[in-house]
Amino acid sequence: MSNRDLQFERRQVDQAVDGLTLVDLLNRAADDHGERSAARWQSAGGEWQGLTWDQMRQMTHQIAAGLQTLGVGAGDFVGITAGVRPEHALADLGIVHTGAVPITFYETLAPPQIAYIAKQTGVKVAIVENEQALERWQAVRSQLPRLERIVLIDTAHDGLPDDVISWETLLEQGRDHLESDPETVTRAAGAVTPSHLATLIYTSGTTGDPKGVMVTHRNVVWTAESVSRTMNMPSHVRTLAYLPFAHIAARAGTHYTPIYTAGEVYYCPDLTQVADYARACRPQAFLGVPRVWEKFQARLLEALEADPKRRDLVHKAIANGRVVVEGRVSGKHASLGKRLKHALFDRIIFSKIRSRLGMEELELAVTAAAPVSRDLLVFFHALGIPLYEIYGMSENTGPATCTTAGNLALGTVGKPFMGVEVETIDDGEIRIRGGVVTDGYYRLPQATASTFAEDGWLYSGDLGEWDEQGNLKIIGRKKEIIITSSGKNVAPATLETAVSSHPLVGGVCMVGDNRPYLTMLVSLDPQEAPRWAEQNGIRGDDWEALTNNAAIVAEIQSAMEGANKMVARAEQVKKTAIVPEAWLPDTGEITPSMKVKRHVVLNKYAGIISELYEDTPTGA
């Protein structure tokens, strides 16, 4: 794209969002589409409940007024520890309408991690979902002198501590405050400007303490406009929220964007219920991380194996569909016969699969937040599920580049979003500029200066290269490049992504710095491994036995061999070890957003790594 075209695009987005904030977006949705459904969820008794956009605004004002009675106002920070539920979205909006800044904490954070963020920001009020979350905050209460009150959403009993109030009490206080001063929230919200913070998104902290990314209202609105234009986002889009709002992908894709489009969000509180909620929601847009799409694929293939009569025909249909998809990607279309077969298979097989998944009305499917295997993308496109990939990070409000219906480019992360500038510099590092780029890290000037340049460029730390069509391909993280003892530079991402796509695999970590060859540590998936074991007549409750089971070892080895075929010989993994436990946020090997903490893994499994290099001296 020429600089002239880029500047034209940027001006279009700038003009569309000039002066707008999240407050304006909610008002627009309520004023123009007040009777439209905004939120849907299941009660504890299983009944579906909902709110219209007009009711969303009323509830937002009530919550904001309640927070004002607790002393919350402009410049304050309010923490939220809660799952994916309407109260979470409403709390976020209510906080914004007071002029304060919401911070969502991952539910898996340990008390010391909560304390680190809450102390850095001076959280004044915390809104927590249940007794378990309350206990985590109370465990560090003495370390948080600026924390004045905690609001408990699910109250199981009376007799709360003096500094804790129920959600119902917050709403009652809000109603009373609005009765005495009907304009109190309108005044506070009216003072919010595009340059004010909309939230802090704390990075996952793979190499140290997490950093709070300062996302402004302009970032939020600008990003939503750019995404809507680039990906032809349906108006009033119906989507399913289930990923934690502490992650920028979920926050942008299933919270901010639906407000921008006056869409409808179904709130799924439990990741294990996503399939059921998808069938109820029938989403038009669906956001998933690669692991979610991998589990969808695993369940489909598992169902096929249980139905031998249909298995061969469906596999034949998928194989034919793959050929057709590859033809679309390459521009060398499959033969007319294969395309006609694909149309027939779509009508008699794939349409039924989509219906079973609740995705027959799907117009846009997205994978984001982590690398995804090309094979997985081809699989879903063969099924008629339009799965596109987004690349970006918290520091640029989520999206920087994407593939689209008009630019499938599987195996790359596509082209920049409308108005976004993306370049690779001399060493291959990707840099990003545009309205998506945030204001830096909260109270970390040195870290901000090393990542955010004064001329507007965000230096991503990722390495990339461009294909002939102008699509970006991610090579890996700059800091994660492995240099073997022979001087070979290897980016782990390609092999790690390929191996991770196997359903049995929960996490992987390539090893090889200053070593003669590459090895890989593999952790089994804590849900899939026991499930697979039971289906194959193996005890699923003995984790150590699972890691040593010959059938499971063979599965992992097969996945490794398949991945090795994707790279040059010098970049192949020679040995693999399955570690004897699952990697979880609570045990420290991975972050709440499921990213591997390499330094933790390398230290924890130093003994196993040494065994992988027995009889081979370091540096040889």
Q: Which pLDDT tens digit goes with each residue over 522-557?
A: 999 998 899 888 888 877 778 888 888 899 999 999
The number of CA neighbours under 13 Å toward the Cβ of 582 is 18
Mean pLDDT of 16-39: 98
The structure tokens listed for 596 are 């591997």
* Domain annotation covers residue 440: no
Domain that holds residue 529: 481-612
Mean pLDDT of 492-499: 91
CATH for 551: 3.30.300.30
CATH for 28: 3.40.50.12780
Q: What residue type is assigned to position 501 of the chain? A: S
Q: What residue type is assigned to position 18 of the chain? A: D
- Residue-level pLDDT at 303: 87
Q: What percent of the chain has pLDDT over 70?
A: 98
* Domain annotation covers residue 247: yes
Q: Binning pLDDT at 50, 70 and 90, where does residue 207 land?
A: low
3-state DSSP call for residue 52?
strand
Please answer whether residues 262 and 29 qualify as being in contact, where contact means their C-beta atoms are separated by less than 8 angstroms.
yes
Mean pLDDT of 298-320: 91
* Domain annotation covers residue 394: no
Q: What residue type is assigned to position 204 of the chain? A: S
- Residue-level pLDDT at 435: 98
Helix ranges restricted to H, 462-509: 493-500
Q: Which pLDDT tens digit goes with each residue over 255-264?
A: 999 999 999 9
Distance in angstroms (rounded) separating the CA atoms of residues 608 and 353: 43
**Residue with more model confidence, 161 or 157:** 161
- Residue-level pLDDT at 620: 42
* Domain annotation covers residue 425: no
Task: State CA 368 to chain mean position distance.
Answer: 6
* Domain annotation covers residue 219: no
Q: Binning pLDDT at 50, 70 and 90, where does residue 206 land?
A: low
Distance in angstroms (rounded) separating the CA atoms of residues 390 and 144: 38
- Lowest-confidence pick of 132-141, 363-372, 433-442: 363-372
Helix axes 274-281, 290-305, angle to 10 degrees: 90
* Domain annotation covers residue 257: yes
Mean pLDDT of 155-166: 87
* Domain annotation covers residue 379: no
- pLDDT at residue 361 greater than cutoff 60: yes
- Residue-level pLDDT at 619: 43
**Residue with more model confidence, 543 or 224:** 224
**Residue with more model confidence, 306 or 380:** 380
The structure tokens listed for 296 are 């969808």
**Residue with more model confidence, 161 or 62:** 62
Q: What percent of the chain has pLDDT over 90?
A: 81
Distance in angstroms (rounded) separating the CA atoms of residues 101 and 215: 10
How many other β-carbons are positioned within 10 Å of the β-carbon of residue 248? 28
Dihedral angle of Cα 62, 63, 64, 65, to the nearest 10 degrees:
50
Q: Binning pLDDT at 50, 70 and 90, where does residue 616 land?
A: low
The structure tokens listed for 90 are 């409403």
What is the bridge-based pairing of β-strands 164-166 and 149-152? Answer: parallel
* Domain annotation covers residue 246: yes
Q: How many domains does the chain have?
A: 2
